[in-house]
Structure 1
Amino acid sequence: MAKRDYYEVLGVNKSASKDEIKKAYRKLSKKYHPDINKEEGADEKFKEISEAYEVLSDENKRANYDQFGHDGPQGGFGSQGFGGSDFGGFEDIFSSFFGGGSRQRDPNAPRKGDDLQYTMTITFEEAVFGTKKEISIKKDVTCHT
């Protein structure tokens, strides 16, 4: 389902000031707050209002939203829309370019470790023509005994 325009959600014009946006948010959040309004769908409406306010009350997020809408730049590589999330690596960048950007990172999935760096000396000829070398890498393992 397509997201509604944030200005429409808050009931303000695109030229609305910060104070007008804040006033509209306060009025609507009081009306639809889940602790006050027990009607079905009020909590979803409250979330939509809060999301709209989060974007429109921040100058940078608002400028990005005004220029690109909901599908605009992802606020940094790997993040999801205006909500934000951790940078997950270059595969996240490429997946967002090629249609996989809507997936959320599994918080229980193992995290990637730090890159390993080793120094290896090779000759000029090996660098130019290529070579194969065997190396040993020590790895720390947790013992479960």
Structure 2
Amino acid sequence: MQDHYAALGLSPAATLAEIKKAFRLRASQYHPDRNTSPDAPQLFRAVQTAYEVLADDERRKTYDDNRRRGLLDSPIDTAREIWHNYLLEALK
């Protein structure tokens, strides 16, 4: 499961205004027309998906519920994924 908050560089407590701002920033950063990196299209799609989920109240609630359930069901795997995403973000 992709961490939509990490894709936008946000905390789970982010407001809708923060989500929109982060989306605009990341979308322009990773847009394939502006970014020639080979992984730019994949990152751009991840940012788009994250925005689509987090900007919709119902989809965000479902995502947050599944995310919490994942933390409880498989805490080691979830911790590894969070740490991995954190390191990737820190290295950018």
**Which residue number in structure 1 is paired with residue 3 of structure 2?**
5
**Which residue number in structure 1 is paired with residue 36 of structure 2?**
38
TM-score, with normalisation over the residues of structure 1?
A: 0.45
- Please tell me whether residue 28 in structure 1 is matched to residue 4 in structure 2: no
For the pair shown, the structure with the greater C-alpha radius of gyration is 1
Higher relative contact order (CA 8 A, sep 6+): 2
Identify the match of residue 18 of structure 1 among 16, 40, 51.
Answer: 16
**Which residue number in structure 2 is paired with residue 51 of structure 1?**
49
| In 2, Cα distance between equivalents of 1:63 and 1:4 | 15
RMSD: 1.7
Q: Which runs of 5+ in 1 are unaligned?
A: 73-145
| In 1, Cα distance between equivalents of 2:64 and 2:18 | 17
Number of residues paired by the alignment? 69
TM-score, with normalisation over the residues of structure 2?
A: 0.70
- Runs of 4 or more, structure 1, over 2 Å off, are none
| In 1, Cα distance between equivalents of 2:3 and 2:41 | 18
| In 1, Cα distance between equivalents of 2:34 and 2:48 | 15
The CA deviation string for residues 58-88 of structure 1, in whole angstroms up to 9 with x for no partner, is: 000000000013x99xxxxxxxxxxxxxxxx
Paired AA for residue 36 in structure 1: R
Paired AA for residue 51 in structure 1: T
